[in-house]
Chains A and B, each alone.
Chain A
Amino acid sequence: MKKVLVVDDQENIRTVVRLALRDRFEVSEAKDANSALKSINNSLPDAIILDVMMSGSMSGFQLCEHIKQSDRLSGIYVILVTACGQVSDQEQGRALGADAYFVKPFSPAALEKHLHDALLWREA
């Protein structure tokens, strides 16, 4: 089973994503960027679903940039999830190397399908 790390400071969003993914993925959770980095160091995930605006010292954008600039971590598929609906925010996410961008509110089923297809395509 592919491993997915869900990083969001809102427990409800983590729960939604976990319930949507749990049949086809091994899901772990982190409530902020520092916890996410610890989790990544313990067990490298195949994908990260990452909230952009989190409480704590590092935003989702910063964590995304850190991941994509690291030789060891850059292969992780990163999906940014955000309440920022503006095109400029999405462009910033893309510029930092994010592989996909979902704006809240989003369909959990669509997120699950996107992730499944993306990781399947990478394997092929």
Chain B
Amino acid sequence: MKTTDTLAMEMAWNHSPWGIVAIDREGNVCSVSPSFERCIGMSRSSFIGMSEADFIFQLDLPVIDHLRVDVASGCIRAIHYVRRRVTRQEYDMKQIAEKLRAPLASIYGFTELLLTQQYDDGTRSNLTSAIIEQVEVMAFVINEKLDLNAQSSSTASQDGSSLS
């Protein structure tokens, strides 16, 4: 008959909000909780027998919270706790937003300065050139990261050369 503690352990193992992975003394994955599949969206069975290094390599770490706990005794060497922080798509979109904000800041800044301050012709020319450069940086990020095809990007460009 199972004790209350054993039942509680089983419940925690099966329903944890974190995926739990045990590493044996030989350094291989020996047990994977059912919650792992739910938390990470990857099959449990494919990890059994995998080395600890390979297991960590498989994790998409930028989007996953990961904690490793050493175990001092017994047949288990370490326990890994993992859970998905954001989806890969959310992470990628955040990265793109950050890449676009930087050139946008230059464009906003230089444009506002040109509108509100008096500059000589040389400075105005330099600021305008910097704006065009930053527009090209934005176009590159959009084309590369948002995967627009060459045809649509050249259509968006005035002359089909500098921004495509």
Contact = CB atoms under 8 A, between A and B. Distances in A.
Interface residues of B, number: 19
A85 to B, nearest CB: 6
Contact of A83 (B98, B109, B110, B117): B98
Contacts of A16: 105-106, 109-110, 113
A61 to B, nearest CB: 15
Contact of A104 (B94, B101, B117, B130): B101
- A: interface residue count bin: 20 to 34
A103 B97 CA distance: 12
Nearest to B130: A12
Contact of A105 (B101, B116, B117): B101
Interface in B34-91: none
Q: Is the interface of B mostly helix, strand, loop or mixed?
A: helix
Given A83-B98, A85-B97, A107 B108 contact: yes
A20 to B, nearest CB: 6
B102 A10 contact: yes
A57 interface: no
B121 to A, nearest CB: 16
- Which of B99, B107, B110, B112 counts the most A-chain CB atoms under 10 A from its CB? B112
Interface in A17-51: 17, 19-20
A19 B105 contact: no
B94 A105 contact: no
B112 A107 contact: yes
Nearest to A12: B106
Interface of A: 10, 12-13, 15-17, 19-20, 53, 83-86, 103-109
The 7 closest A-B pairs by CB, nearest first: A16-B109, A104-B105, A83-B101, A105-B108, A12-B106, A105-B105, A104-B101
28 contacts: A10-B102, A12-B105, A12-B106, A12-B109, A12-B110, A12-B134, A16-B105, A16-B109, A19-B113, A19-B117, A20-B109, A53-B98, A83-B97, A83-B98, A83-B99, A85-B97, A85-B101, A103-B101, A104-B102, A104-B104, A104-B105, A105-B101, A105-B104, A106-B105, A106-B108, A108-B112, A108-B113, A109-B112
Interface of B: 94, 97-99, 101-102, 104-110, 112-113, 116-117, 130, 134
